[in-house]
Amino acid sequence: MWLFNSSIGRKVVMSVTGLALILFLTFHCCMNIVALFSGEAYNMICELLGANWYAVVATMGLAVLALIHIVYAFILTAQNRKARGDNRYDIATTVNAGKVEWASKNMLVLGIIILLGLILHLYNFWYNMMFAELFPSIHYDPAPADGFGKIVNTFGNPLFVVLYVIWLVAIWFHLTHGFWSAFQTLGASGKVWLNRWKIIGFIYTTLLMLGFLVVVLAFAFGCAPSLCCGATCA
């Protein structure tokens, strides 16, 4: 099948899975912002998205999307390196001097940082929440359903805060390039719309990552409204 056997087909798969993951990140960001204002409301969402059959199925589907995206990213990177060798950016640099994006040239490095951050995030939250509910014999503190407590604990650790900030910056670089590139691959951009998608992607991904970053820093500095309980944060 051309989607799996051709370079263009693989890029299409990368684009579709990438856009699907961006939609998930949007939902995840909205969910995290709830934690800024109400720990109780956030835990209600965590309970709704706990180890229920539909949540487990959705998680498995999301994992498949992420795995396909990651595997295809490595395959396409290896193909590009093999085809172009060490001088794979010489033509672009000569013809469009200064126009080759840093993110475009370092997508593999960014991808590795994102993957390592994802592993850390899965350990801090998924493993201690949904996995914990699936295997209740293992003791967890806070309790699996206390997602708010896990946010407080995680971002109360300065090391985790630094690692999450680095992770979010890497995702931002990855998405600012990947967003418009996906639409270009899918044929939804021409000479006019290419620049428009770049602007839309920059604004969208910047707001998205700022949403995540605000949550991390608000809990790191103890200034989330949900922590204040009516008092003024220091």
DSSP symbols for 192-232: HHHHHHHHHHHHHHHHHHHHHHHHHHHHHTT--HHHHTTSP
CA contacts within 13 A on the Cβ side of 228: 12
- pLDDT tens digit string along 55-95? 888 889 999 999 999 888 888 878 877 776 554 434 333 33
Please determine, for residue 54, whether its predicted confidence score (pLDDT) is greater than 90: no
DSSP state of 120: H
The pLDDT assigned to 1 comes to: 63
- pLDDT tens digit string along 122-140? 988 888 777 767 766 665 5
Q: What is the mean pLDDT of residues 208-227?
A: 95
Please determine, for residue 107, whether its predicted confidence score (pLDDT) is greater than 90: no
Distances (CA, A) of 190 to 141, 195, 215: 53, 9, 37
The pLDDT assigned to 143 comes to: 61
Confidence of residue 117 (pLDDT cuts 50, 70, 90): very high
Name the burial class of residue 27, with classes exposed (0-12), middle (13-18) and buried (19+) by CB atoms within 10 angstroms of its CB: exposed
Q: Is the peptide bond before 136 cis (omega within 30 degrees of 0)?
A: no
The pLDDT assigned to 231 comes to: 42
Confidence of residue 4 (pLDDT cuts 50, 70, 90): low
The pLDDT assigned to 64 comes to: 94
Inter-residue contact 210 to 171 (CB < 8 Å)? no
The pLDDT assigned to 90 comes to: 41
Q: Rounded CA gap, 204 and 182, in Å? A: 14
Q: What is the mean pLDDT of residues 25-47?
A: 94
Lowest-pLDDT choice from 20-29, 33-42, 54-63? 54-63
The pLDDT assigned to 93 comes to: 38
Please determine, for residue 9, whether its predicted confidence score (pLDDT) is greater than 90: no
Tokens coding 55? 């949540």
CA contacts within 13 A on the Cβ side of 150: 23
Q: What is the mean pLDDT of residues 138-164?
A: 84
